[in-house]
Structure 1
């Protein structure tokens, strides 16, 4: 049972799913960013082992954010889960195929003293780090444009697009935003855990990727403002009613994604956080204050993801072919009891996840060096 009414629970779960997405971007994101930089920031085998060992003890624990996020969407927004996995099926498979390289890459890469063997796994870890953020960014770009799907009378979803339609210019720009921000975040973490030449290369990469993030994020915002993007609900919606995605009227409306910012000017603080956080991260990393830069980068990513969330609210997955079938916070959710039980489960277990993650990072804190790799030749990654 819960003390919240149905409407409040719907909003709470919109916020909680956002928290899980941000948590995934911050925690698993810096692992992926480090993997993206692996073949470039490490110039020899020892340097690459240093890079791998900065994230080796934590990467699999950070996967909990990815798994929990997917599980939360399945349980809280079942129609979104079903429709998204129909429309983005091949894209999601590409993410999973890329992620397959990570466990085997981390575990087997250094077990054989063979240059070709290790180089192959280095590039495998690069694929596992670089592909998922790009595809997730492309997915967000398509959500902002609307996804071609509709429902039949029994609410079975039908996706009418193709995989190649997902790779449109705006979605690819959103993919650049996702890829660049994750790479910048990973580079900052790498600079925090290393020293010498690796740290210098990581700092250079962080500045370059951070600037690219700001440029691509600004370009995407301008494109949304000038393009024919946006959806608006034109009928009265009972936010506390039982879910029915076909019981509303929706129209495509240019500039609709900026309506929430016009109605509530304080929400401009969210994109403001994206710019302020990234600029602060760049300034701090240039001065060598790596931990503060990591915090600032985390805030920037929160702002970037939050900007899309605030712009689309209450939409979660708009339909470009039948706008009235668009999925929203109000009509794509589970029952009130399900949301209530999940809320209390989250309230109990989320602090546990944060606590053990914090403990693990505290225990494994410190610089990873080539000397340490030599001393732990047979136990390090």
Structure 2
């Protein structure tokens, strides 16, 4: 359409970038909530210490989860074919994530209603599940995308998923899941070490250091696996980057090491995997020196690098199909219409800065140490 100032190809690329921004924003903002939840039974030993950790994330977790809602909404509106194929194929995995996430608000509200230690311990483990399980399954999902997902499309573009939940739990996706867990535990541990009182801060610091080192090792192992033990996908026909969305008009083959093609073609992209290796090491070294802002920068860079590496490896694929490679969804053939993408971009340009400003304001208001004294002064503390 000539009256739209941005061409279709550019808008598709912008929305691919925005999807990455939303996923990274979720991992950095809500990722530390998940990491703190996963650390709760281990870094805090007494009821008071666990209250300190809970009140570290209690005031902000709900706002941080907006990034997840935005990411799901962006997939639904900008990439409807991706939404249909992935949410139906990963349905049980998505339900598992949602059930785990539901334990967070329920745990926050119900934990303090009864003073029975068994009651509170039950909800502490519920909060652990609410942090650990989503972190694991998000990583497992990314690992399955890199392997290829068993779906196909009929001539009417309806997606059919031929796999099952337990088929997602293959070795490589499980390694990807462990990367996700260690990455977010490190990130959450850094925040807990920064803001919690001793001895919680010291325990969180030690766990965060171990998780950061594990992230580097696991990410390196996954990189070698992708390079030498994993087939990637390659489009062998000429794709119309500004043409109508129809995934069945291309030809695709699988090829060993194909997920590295983009890094060979554009060497600057290797910055992403470099950050995925260096970021956790920086976080571990900064934690050892108790330089917490540097540690937070390192864990955030690790998240940026690891997620960006997955996205750049896949490009232009969004969801490869393992049983019918031609049905794989790409940036160029799975998007909404030209007009839809443009209208959504205008809304995003308006609302995203508001969300960023609101988030920054909330963090500023909620800044400072969290300890037994601060909880005692707060009538709304958990």
TM-score range normalised by the length of the shorter chain:
over 0.9
Deviates more, 1:42-51 or 1:186-195: 186-195
The aligned counterpart of 1:328 is 330
The aligned counterpart of 1:212 is 214
**Displacement of 1:292 after TM fit?**
2.4
**RMSD of aligned alpha carbons:** 1.0
Q: 1-side partners of 2:175 and 2:112: how far apart?
A: 36
The aligned counterpart of 1:264 is 266
The aligned counterpart of 1:94 is 96
Q: Work out which of the residue numbers 67, 70, 76 in structure 2 matches 1:65.
A: 67
The aligned counterpart of 1:274 is 276
**Displacement of 1:260 after TM fit?**
0.2
**Displacement of 1:228 after TM fit?**
3.5
SS in 1 for 2:152: strand
Q: 1-side partners of 2:346 and 2:298: how far apart?
A: 30
1:104-142 per-position Cα deviation (integer Å, ceiling 9, x unaligned):
111221122221111111111000000001001000000
- Alignment gaps of 5+ in structure 2: none
Q: 2-side partners of 1:194 and 1:369: how far apart?
A: 6
Q: 2-side partners of 1:43 and 1:338: how far apart?
A: 52
Give the conservation status (yes or no) of the 8 Å contact 2:219–2:277.
Answer: no
Give the conservation status (yes or no) of the 8 Å contact 2:196–2:370.
Answer: yes
In the TM superposition, 1:156-175 aligns within 5 A as: 156-175=158-177
Give the conservation status (yes or no) of the 8 Å contact 1:46–1:373.
Answer: no
**Displacement of 1:375 after TM fit?**
4.0
- Is it true that 1:4 corresponds to 2:6 in the alignment? yes
SS in 2 for 1:253: strand
1:305-324 per-position Cα deviation (integer Å, ceiling 9, x unaligned):
00010011000100010000
Q: 2-side partners of 1:228 and 1:108: how far apart?
A: 46
In the TM superposition, 1:282-361 aligns within 5 A as: 282-361=284-363
Q: 2-side partners of 1:90 and 1:365: how far apart?
A: 37
Q: 1-side partners of 2:101 and 2:296: how far apart?
A: 24
The aligned counterpart of 2:380 is 379
Q: 1-side partners of 2:286 and 2:341: how far apart?
A: 41
The aligned counterpart of 2:184 is 182
**Displacement of 1:11 after TM fit?**
0.4
Q: Work out which of the residue numbers 36, 39, 42 in structure 2 matches 1:40.
A: 42
- Is it true that 1:121 corresponds to 2:123 in the alignment? yes
Q: 2-side partners of 1:352 and 1:264: how far apart?
A: 34
Give the conservation status (yes or no) of the 8 Å contact 1:38–1:51.
Answer: yes
Q: 1-side partners of 2:21 and 2:375: how far apart?
A: 36
Q: 2-side partners of 1:3 and 1:127: how far apart?
A: 47
In the TM superposition, 1:145-160 aligns within 5 A as: 145-160=147-162
Deviates more, 1:142-151 or 1:276-285: 276-285
**Number of corresponding residues:** 380
Q: 2-side partners of 1:211 and 1:228: how far apart?
A: 24
Question: Which 4+ residue blocks in structure 1 deviate beyond 3 angstroms?
Answer: none
TM-score w.r.t. structure 1 length? 0.98
The aligned counterpart of 1:240 is 242
- Alignment gaps of 5+ in structure 1: none
The aligned counterpart of 1:110 is 112
SS in 1 for 2:381: coil
